[in-house]
Amino acid sequence: MQTRMGYDRLLGTVARIGRVTEVTLEHAGSITLLAWQVVLATARMKVAAREVVNQLYIMGIQSLPIVLVTGSLAGIVTSQQGGYQMSSVVPPYILGSLVVETVVLEMGPVLTALVLVGRIGARITAELGTMVVSEQIDAYHSLGRDPVALLAAPRVLAGILALPLLVGIANIVGILAGQLAAEIDSGLGWESFFYGAKLFWHSWDLFYSLTKAMIFGLAIPLISVHMGLRTKGGAEGVGRTTTQAVMFMTLTILILDAVFPPLLLN
């Protein structure tokens, strides 16, 4: 009897793993297909430049205030934590290196991406989900228009362009705020801070940071558009899909973040 129950439990676990794998592969396949359709629409010049600019404004300019705040806080917190942990163990100017490397390699890209998941990703999923349930996407199809070219491609292109710019700004603001915090907390002057920063700085670090930003900028709109377009079930469905999309995007950002160092930093 117990053997039978154990066998059933094992079967249930295998079935659940199978279902999760199936759903994950299905999402991955659909997102890859969507990415390919975006490439085709762009190559065939079917994407309106005006719409890309409009999306750039929404993703880039309108996100600037929150990115400035996040970037500053990332720099300040890193500087405070670093200053606290390194006191009297290593030369104080090393704090400059710690802040710059942490902000550029990690905090700038990841925090900016996570902020955009909430601000842009959720917005795109909810917007497209509402268009699906109110039959606006069907209306585009019925009128012979391609929703990928009209809605998905401008958002994806804007994401790829906007994220590196925002991350670049977040990095600069984070470093400046970190230096200010170092001066206030540890009395580390401007020159010592940047002397330490230069000691361990590689130009590759900036490339790494902006490449990461670009990949995040591709992932956020791709996932949010994909989730939005598969919304079902009215207003409740829009809410449910938006929540799933935010979770999905956050996980993707964190997984990609873990994949980057072995690929690009070794």
Q: Phi and psi of 72, rounded to 5°?
A: -60, -50
Taken as a whole, the chain contains a residue count of 266
Question: Which lies closer to other proteins via its Cβ, residue 141 or residue 202?
Answer: 141
Residue 141 lies near other proteins (rule: CB under 8 A): yes
Q: Residues 166, 114: contact at Cβ < 8 Å?
A: no
Which residue in the set 15, 25, 53, 139 belongs to the binding site for other proteins (CB under 8 A)? Answer: 139
Out of 27, 119, 123, 145, the only residue in the binding site for other proteins (CB under 8 A) is 145
Interaction between residue 131 and other proteins (CB under 8 A): yes
Q: 223 with 121: CB under 8 angstroms?
A: yes
Closer of 28 and 48 to other proteins (Cβ):
48
Is 54 or 244 the residue whose CB approaches other proteins more closely?
54
Residue closer to other proteins, measured from CB, 22 or 138: 138
Interacting stretch for other proteins, rule CB under 8 A, among 33-41, 117-125, 139-147, 165-173? Answer: 139-147
Q: What is the 3-state secondary structure (H, E, C) of 128-193?
A: HHHHHHCCHHHHHHHCCCCHHHHHHHHHHHHHHHHHHHHHHHHHHHHHHHHHHHHHHHHCCCHHHH
Residue from 2, 3, 88, 142 in contact with other proteins (CB under 8 A) = 142
Residue number with CB closer to other proteins (1 or 143): 143
For helices 203-229 and 2-43, the axis angle rounded to 10 degrees is 100
Residue 143 in contact with other proteins, rule: CB under 8 A: yes
Q: Which residues, 6 or more positions from 157, have their beta carbon under 8 angstroms from its beta carbon?
A: 38, 42, 47, 52, 55
Instruction: Give the footprint of other proteins on this chain (CB under 8 A).
Output: 130-131, 134-136, 138-145
